[in-house]
Amino acid sequence: MRYERKYKMYDQAPSILEQAVKLHPASFKKIYPDRQINNIYFDTSTLTSYWDNVNGVAERKKYRVRWYNFDETKIEKPHFEVKARINELGTKKVIRIDDFDLDNLRFLTRIVNELSDAPGRLQPIVMNSYRRAYYGTSDGKFRVTIDERIRYFSLMFAQRFTRYTVEDFNAAVLEMKYDRNMDDYTDRITQFFPFRQTKSSKYVTGVQYTIY
């Protein structure tokens, strides 16, 4: 299991966040090329995962399909993910699935429900995408990502994806990830980030922007 510490900021240029990471005494370095992450989040008709998060339920799960491409309509090597959290600790189960078409979400929904352990039938709720930069310490024990150009589209009221209707370009999310056995050492990292830790879920934000 691992910790994920998030810092969500508004009206901060991504270059400022990148500078804070690059100048950090832990010597973070780029570990992957930047790429665009695309997600379709699934939930029950009563939005169980959403409300569990909003209400601070200690043990909760999130279900999504993810793929990487700067053109979100070109879906290659997607995978179904189940993210489980117990308080601040999380795990992720990843299952490779067949390519699909955004015009045929019924096919994708059937696959998701066959793989899901959710208490009820899942349906697509929100789709989003964002650009992510990856950094890590030389020993591989701490990883930092920076997400920007975040966009959302509600699938709860649509049969297929057409275009993003909400652009949250003023927001950026810095996230630090590390195994739980490193928690005693996190202060050595976080004390040099001039940001305040926040609670940040892109799924929750997407629902609030596009549905409520």
Supply the pTM of this predicted model. Answer: 0.94
> Token pair for residue 61?
């799960």
pLDDT of res. 9: 87
Neighbours of 99 (CB within 10 A): 11
Q: Mind listing the pLDDT tens digit of every residue in the chain (212 residues)?
A: 899 989 888 877 778 889 889 999 999 999 999 999 999 999 999 999 999 999 999 999 999 999 999 999 999 999 999 999 998 889 999 999 999 999 989 999 999 999 999 989 999 999 999 999 999 998 999 999 999 999 999 999 888 999 999 999 989 999 999 998 998 888 888 888 888 888 889 999 999 999 97
Give 159-204 as a 3 state SS string: CCCCCCCEEECCEEEEEEEEEHHHHHHCHHHHCCCCCCCECCCHHH
Tokens of 170: 């003023």
The predicted structure's pLDDT at residue 198: 85
Name the percent of the chain in helix, strand, coil, to the closest 5.
20, 40, 35
pLDDT given at position 197:
84
